[in-house]
Structure 1
Amino acid sequence: MISRNRIKALTAAVLLLATTFGSRPLLAQATLLQNAPGRKVLSLNGSWNYIIDPYENGFYDYRREAFDQSKTGKGGYYDNQKPSSRQETELIEYDFDKSAALQVPGDWNSQDPKLLYYEGTIWYKKSFTLTPKAGKRYFLYFGAINYESHIYLNGKKLGKHQGGFTPIQYDITSQLSPSGDNFVVVKADNTRRPDAVPTINTDWWNYGGITRDVFIAETPTTFITDYKVQLAKNEPGTLTGYVQLSGEGKAGQSVTLSIAEAGLRHTLKTDAEGRATFRLPARKLKVWSPQSPKLYAVSVSSGADVVQDRIGFRTIETRGQDILLNGKSVYLRGISMHDENPLIPGRARGEGDLRMLLTWAKELGCNYVRLAHYPHNETMLKLADEMGLLVWTEVPVYWTIAWENPATYQNAEAQLSDLISVGKNRASVAVWSVGNETPPGEARLRFMTSLVRKARALDDTRLLAAALELHRDGFKVTVDDPLGAELDLTSFNEYMGWYVGGKPSEITQYTFNIKYNKPVIISEFGGDALAGYHADADTRWSEEYQEALYQNQLKMLSTIRGLRGMTPWILADFRATRRQHPVYQNGFNRKGLISSTGVKKKAFYVLQTYYRQMAQQYDGK
């Protein structure tokens, strides 16, 4: 435990750490296109040929030197080499076009039985036709590739990216073939590494591959690359933000922001850097809330470029131990979830899967979801906007990270920056989280405090949080993590009745000593139950045990002063390699309130009843 009189010294060291760590990985892409899926796009989803390459023969020569770092840059699988007419003289030991195919988006683990546990390199290749037009620019965009990817177009390297859950984007205008015949090759590697984010130890399946949409976005040569349109912090009558142009003619351009339904239209001029900022009265805007998830059609235009978005407007802040949404106290009736459809093996594949998960949350009585433990699909945030669900979203700084490694911090900050870039215009996003269950220590405090301050610099209109650990002495629980001083919420995970303590009936004996006068959010609690297994309330793995655990958890948590919400673990059973019991788990974490076959367990109805009571108390419903 770090003494309080050292906190100032530790946080002062954050500036040094930030200077040492820098701001972005060396090969990270330029600013992500805001609302990239909403542009004019050519989808590259569908069948991609693939080659399994555990020895990385397609990347290194026999002396373990990378082909793409050689003088010629040739020799790797990314060349997509084909035999010439003199086939008898050529040695080519691969052929994408004769290889099997995987569906994209999708992980490889669920598409081929021999890849179920595979960790390593797989090469993907996709041919496409696109003839570049004069006066246009083209961006190759991947929603996510897990984990490290090297991306090539027509045999030339575009770049390298680390992080399995954030978008990847490259300007490919000059690399497209004039003939229109093109191919893209991706080296995807999901190998777990100690210095990665997340690190080698996680409690979810390490799905590999191109797991989200792939497309090419077309823009004019001078185009809108970024924008933010939101209510000012704690000022519901003021609309603030910016529009950022890119391209040679970005300076001195007219930019128009229009919200026709609200009678708002404003034209601005960009500065020398292509940016136009605004601060406008917006008293006619109806606020967004879970009870009334109002979205406006927002148009941002400049010259030939017009970007359409659907944006909601709301304020969220804390005052003492209250969370205020649009100035009114709110209780966050939440649930945690993974980016996985339990009914179909693998990562969630698209809007249908995501809508199903959020519909289950709404049926449970939620006004709030925790998207754990990494950035989820951008479509999930847009659906939450539409369906009226507040969102906690986080980066995978999970358990024990390489706290003192500058490259690890750069990676975490880049993922955080991209998370905020994608989500900053979504009314549903209420909380940025910088991590989960990280063990207190000096290096960790420097690392995490730097992330908190980076998030505040990028967006001061949301709440900052992390799922903290606890200290226990018998039935006395203390929440006194020094990182809590930097956060807006006191949020922590507790597993009384499952990992801690005895029977569910003993849960109510726990008491909490929370050091911070802030809103309290229980970010996790729960216990496993195999759907359909019935016994008494003291028999682990039974639905009755999980039901009793929830009943007693809710009694215990109701005694916490300042409790303003929770996200129990978890909405649905999910696959996890760590969970190996052959009867009760069989490769699944069974803490879901909904089973891997879509059956609601008894605890689902316990929480549903509680949430209906809280909705009546706070919302009058």
Structure 2
Amino acid sequence: MKKLFVLLLVANMAQAQTWQAVPGRIKTPWSEKVTPGQVLPEYPRPQLVRGNWKNLNGLWNYAVTPRSAGNPAAYTGKILVPFAIESALSGVGRTVGKDSLLWYQTTFTRPAGGKKILLHFGAVDWETEVYVNGMLAGSHKGGFDPFSFDITPHLKKKGEQTLVVKVWDPTDQGPQPRGKQVRKPEGIWYTPVTGIWQTVWLEALPETYLATVKQTPDIDQETLTVNTTVVNPVPGDQVLVSAWDNGSKVAETTIEPGGSAVLKIPSPKLWSPSSPFLYDLKLEITRKGKAVDTVKSYFAMRKSSMAKDEKGVYRMLLNNKFLFQYGPLDQGWWPDGLYTAPTDEALLFDVEQTKAMGFNMIRKHIKVEPARWYYHCDRLGMLVWQDMPSGDLGNRWEPRPGIVGRGTDQQRSEASENAYRQEWSAIMDALHNSPSIVVWVPFNEAWGQFKTREITEWTMQKDPSRLVNSASGGNFYPTGHIIDLHNYPDPAMPDADIYGGKQAIVLGEFGGLGLPVDGHVWQQKDNWGYQTFKTAGELFRRYQEYMKKLKELIPLGLSAAVYTQTTDVEVETNGLMTYDRRVFKNPVKSFWEVHQQLYDNK
């Protein structure tokens, strides 16, 4: 055992010597904890857990070639997966662009056990082809949704297997969803993210297995509906579904493979920011009394809805009660990893500190996070508004103070529309089981906004269990549950009677109070905020004034508000924290204390 430990230590040291983070950028405290032998080692999919898996994160070979060229004749060097090639933690720090291809290559051994081997990618931006032992295993388009391939037919019986991944990403020169990535970062537009940026992993499965599980709570009926997809079922197979409360079984039923179960959850414990209770869920495929495949998951009993209050104003409700929702605009960028947090501890830190500052909601702004981020929100009790990442912006409408947009929809190409629809559907499917998500946001500020009524109504039909904010700060139509104003810097609210007063009203963005902190900025010059201050005290006094204004708007009909923003991002210095997460611009306790007045709805 001691000899084995020494060999592993020597191997890890040799691997580490071939990689170092790109110098010259500020780093988070977790950057120093990143080592090639231990990169984001946590199980990446908390909603569908099995034990037999292998993490492929680590040092891979990479090359960048002209798009017109074939396979690379040789690889350039090493890249640390899953950090995007442009990031410091990748060890490379270079751009790729629309005229080039990014290639990855690594080897692995087949996991022990299991007749089927699935290869999973958390996210790859944007167009991906995957080859195993020289054979095409599959392709995928989409920069924010997880995807998998059954690579069993392409594997050798034993020995090393070769994996090659080819990626093309046009960033802002293509019509695909890409969030705030641009070729030339400035202002509110940031560095491109190309290629693999979430965990890559293998899973060993039996011939018959559960591929998907979808769970939807109904607190009024005290039920949980569970839908399953089973691969290669055998006649006579059954799926045993059971719900658990801290080790005690509360419900159980048996269904046919691919069927739907309705579990009765008696006297359910309701999930909320103040009491984020999670039930355990267990599913087993059984054959002649024996378990063929077993997965573990979790769920929560909670309801996101809206209804009129005693004054006839529509309010956003949680569990049939009005709760003012207040949180920061959270863009999920990192100075060392760009889209990718250095460690799971770092990913958790932002959520924990947001909660500690007294916020009860996060608007995840035109980005989708790894599944573990939503898991942290689920278990900590953080409401989430989930944006669809923007793309194909065209001639976007820019919001004016106090004005709700009433422009026209953009005309997008068929390819552009298809890319949007495909990815939005995949994102909603991937995140459906997360109880923390209470609002879907298809569009932001008319950036690429098209066929608003159709997209909004499709979103509502696809997931009736959540509210839909059709276009946060964008062009509004009498569709969806919410009308949303962006107003900088002061708090404001849209007209409660717009479109007949049939929507809840929210302030989807405001604030943006800036304070650059020397030694903790992305660059030394040309940093900015929507309103910049010289001292933390001046900034906080203005923030206190804004909280008083917000409190005055709540009885007038305001259901929620979003402050810009959680952290500085590149040249934007309007975060509650610096970009490197090393400095809070005012004490956490001070924010918590000033926020409590917003939740007293008496």
Q: TM-score range by the shorter chain?
A: 0.7 to 0.9
- Structure 2 residue 109 is matched with structure 1 residue 129: yes
Post-superposition CA distance 1:96-142 (Å, at most 9, x none): 4xx42111121222236863444343211110011686x62121111
The residue number in structure 1 matching 2:433 is 425
- Structure 2 Cα separation of the partners of residues 344 and 197 of structure 1: 20
The residue number in structure 2 matching 1:310 is 298
1:513 to 489, 495, 512: 495
Classify 1:539/1:179 alpha carbon distance in 2 versus 1 (closer, same or farther; 3 Å).
closer
Where do 1:23-42 residues align within 5 Å?
35=47, 38=50, 40-42=52-54
Classify 1:607/1:491 alpha carbon distance in 2 versus 1 (closer, same or farther; 3 Å).
farther
Residue 593 of structure 1 contacts residue 603 of structure 1 at CA under 8 Å; is this kept in 2? no
The residue number in structure 2 matching 1:404 is 412
1:50 to 62, 65, 81: 62
The residue number in structure 2 matching 1:283 is 266
User: What amino acid maps onto 2:495 in structure 1?
Assistant: N
The residue number in structure 2 matching 1:610 is 594
Classify 1:495/1:285 alpha carbon distance in 2 versus 1 (closer, same or farther; 3 Å).
same
2:77 to 83, 100, 115: 100
The residue number in structure 2 matching 1:530 is 515
- Please state how far the C-alpha of 1:240 moved relative to its aligned partner: 1.7
Where do 1:360-439 residues align within 5 Å?
360-397=353-390, 400=393, 403-438=411-446
Residue 131 of structure 1 contacts residue 180 of structure 1 at CA under 8 Å; is this kept in 2? no
User: What amino acid maps onto 1:264 in structure 2?
Assistant: V
Residue 531 of structure 1 contacts residue 601 of structure 1 at CA under 8 Å; is this kept in 2? no
User: What amino acid maps onto 2:504 in structure 1?
Assistant: P
Where do 1:240-389 residues align within 5 Å?
240-249=225-234, 253-261=237-245, 263-270=249-256, 274-303=257-286, 304-320=292-308, 321-342=314-335, 347-389=340-382
**1 or 2, which has the higher helix percentage?**
1
Residue 550 of structure 1 contacts residue 606 of structure 1 at CA under 8 Å; is this kept in 2? no
2:568 to 569, 573, 580: 573
Residue 229 of structure 1 contacts residue 239 of structure 1 at CA under 8 Å; is this kept in 2? yes
- Structure 1 Cα separation of the partners of residues 429 and 167 of structure 2: 24
- Please state how far the C-alpha of 1:220 moved relative to its aligned partner: 1.5
- Please state how far the C-alpha of 1:330 moved relative to its aligned partner: 0.8
- Please state how far the C-alpha of 1:354 moved relative to its aligned partner: 0.9
Residue 190 of structure 1 contacts residue 209 of structure 1 at CA under 8 Å; is this kept in 2? yes
TM-score normalised by structure 2 residue count = 0.76
- Please state how far the C-alpha of 1:486 moved relative to its aligned partner: 1.9
User: What amino acid maps onto 1:372 in structure 2?
Assistant: H
- After superposing the two structures, state which structure 1 stretch, 211-220 or 280-289, moved more: 280-289
2:472 to 468, 480, 486: 468
- Structure 2 Cα separation of the partners of residues 551 and 364 of structure 1: 14
- Structure 2 residue 432 is matched with structure 1 residue 456: no
- Structure 2 Cα separation of the partners of residues 345 and 439 of structure 1: 22
- Structure 2 Cα separation of the partners of residues 341 and 520 of structure 1: 32
- Structure 1 Cα separation of the partners of residues 374 and 530 of structure 2: 39
User: What amino acid maps onto 1:373 in structure 2?
Assistant: I
- Structure 2 Cα separation of the partners of residues 419 and 265 of structure 1: 29
Residue 174 of structure 2 contacts residue 392 of structure 2 at CA under 8 Å; is this kept in 1? no
User: What amino acid maps onto 2:568 in structure 1?
Assistant: D
Residue 48 of structure 1 contacts residue 102 of structure 1 at CA under 8 Å; is this kept in 2? yes
- Structure 2 Cα separation of the partners of residues 555 and 260 of structure 1: 43
- Structure 1 Cα separation of the partners of residues 539 and 101 of structure 2: 40
SS at match of 1:574: coil
SS at match of 2:532: coil
Residue 543 of structure 1 contacts residue 601 of structure 1 at CA under 8 Å; is this kept in 2? no
Where do 1:230-249 residues align within 5 Å?
230-232=216-218, 235-249=220-234
Post-superposition CA distance 1:310-346 (Å, at most 9, x none): 2222112111222221222211121121222357666
- Please state how far the C-alpha of 1:48 moved relative to its aligned partner: 0.8
Unpaired segments ≥5 residues, structure 2: 1-43, 183-187, 287-291, 309-313, 395-409, 519-528
- Structure 1 Cα separation of the partners of residues 357 and 336 of structure 2: 18
User: What amino acid maps onto 2:205 in structure 1?
Assistant: T
- Please state how far the C-alpha of 1:397 moved relative to its aligned partner: 2.7
- Please state how far the C-alpha of 1:52 moved relative to its aligned partner: 2.3
User: What amino acid maps onto 1:108 in structure 2?
Assistant: I
Classify 1:375/1:539 alpha carbon distance in 2 versus 1 (closer, same or farther; 3 Å).
closer
Post-superposition CA distance 1:217-243 (Å, at most 9, x none): 1222111111222312x6251222322
Residue 391 of structure 2 contacts residue 447 of structure 2 at CA under 8 Å; is this kept in 1? no
User: What amino acid maps onto 1:50 in structure 2?
Assistant: Y
User: What amino acid maps onto 1:237 in structure 2?
Assistant: E
Residue 341 of structure 1 contacts residue 353 of structure 1 at CA under 8 Å; is this kept in 2? no
Post-superposition CA distance 1:300-319 (Å, at most 9, x none): 11121111012222112111
- Please state how far the C-alpha of 1:427 moved relative to its aligned partner: 1.4
- Structure 2 Cα separation of the partners of residues 277 and 552 of structure 1: 51
The residue number in structure 1 matching 2:211 is 225
Residue 150 of structure 1 contacts residue 160 of structure 1 at CA under 8 Å; is this kept in 2? yes
The residue number in structure 2 matching 1:562 is 557
- Structure 2 Cα separation of the partners of residues 344 and 158 of structure 1: 28
Post-superposition CA distance 1:229-279 (Å, at most 9, x none): 2312x6251222322212153x65311111233533433332xxx421122
SS at match of 2:254: strand
Where do 1:126-165 residues align within 5 Å?
126-130=106-110, 136-165=115-144
- After superposing the two structures, state which structure 1 stretch, 375-384 or 590-599, moved more: 590-599
- Structure 2 Cα separation of the partners of residues 236 and 342 of structure 1: 46
Classify 1:175/1:376 alpha carbon distance in 2 versus 1 (closer, same or farther; 3 Å).
same
- Structure 1 Cα separation of the partners of residues 126 and 441 of structure 2: 20
- After superposing the two structures, state which structure 1 stretch, 351-360 or 538-547, moved more: 538-547
- Structure 1 Cα separation of the partners of residues 530 and 386 of structure 2: 35
Residue 127 of structure 1 contacts residue 183 of structure 1 at CA under 8 Å; is this kept in 2? yes
SS at match of 1:567: strand
- Structure 2 residue 583 is matched with structure 1 residue 599: yes
- Structure 1 Cα separation of the partners of residues 46 and 227 of structure 2: 12
Classify 1:123/1:283 alpha carbon distance in 2 versus 1 (closer, same or farther; 3 Å).
same
Classify 1:286/1:49 alpha carbon distance in 2 versus 1 (closer, same or farther; 3 Å).
same
- Structure 2 Cα separation of the partners of residues 519 and 387 of structure 1: 26
- Please state how far the C-alpha of 1:168 moved relative to its aligned partner: 2.0
Residue 257 of structure 1 contacts residue 266 of structure 1 at CA under 8 Å; is this kept in 2? yes
User: What amino acid maps onto 1:196 in structure 2?
Assistant: Q
- After superposing the two structures, state which structure 1 stretch, 317-326 or 42-51, moved more: 317-326
User: What amino acid maps onto 1:286 in structure 2?
Assistant: K
TM-score normalised by structure 1 residue count = 0.74
- Please state how far the C-alpha of 1:565 moved relative to its aligned partner: 1.6
The residue number in structure 2 matching 1:90 is none
- Please state how far the C-alpha of 1:298 moved relative to its aligned partner: 0.9
The residue number in structure 2 matching 1:115 is 93
- Please state how far the C-alpha of 1:47 moved relative to its aligned partner: 0.8
- Structure 2 Cα separation of the partners of residues 108 and 149 of structure 1: 15
Where do 1:78-97 residues align within 5 Å?
93-94=73-74, 96=75
User: What amino acid maps onto 2:269 in structure 1?
Assistant: K
Residue 34 of structure 1 contacts residue 227 of structure 1 at CA under 8 Å; is this kept in 2? no
Equivalent pairs, count? 505
Classify 1:175/1:557 alpha carbon distance in 2 versus 1 (closer, same or farther; 3 Å).
same
- Please state how far the C-alpha of 1:376 moved relative to its aligned partner: 1.2
The residue number in structure 1 matching 2:479 is 486
Residue 329 of structure 2 contacts residue 362 of structure 2 at CA under 8 Å; is this kept in 1? yes
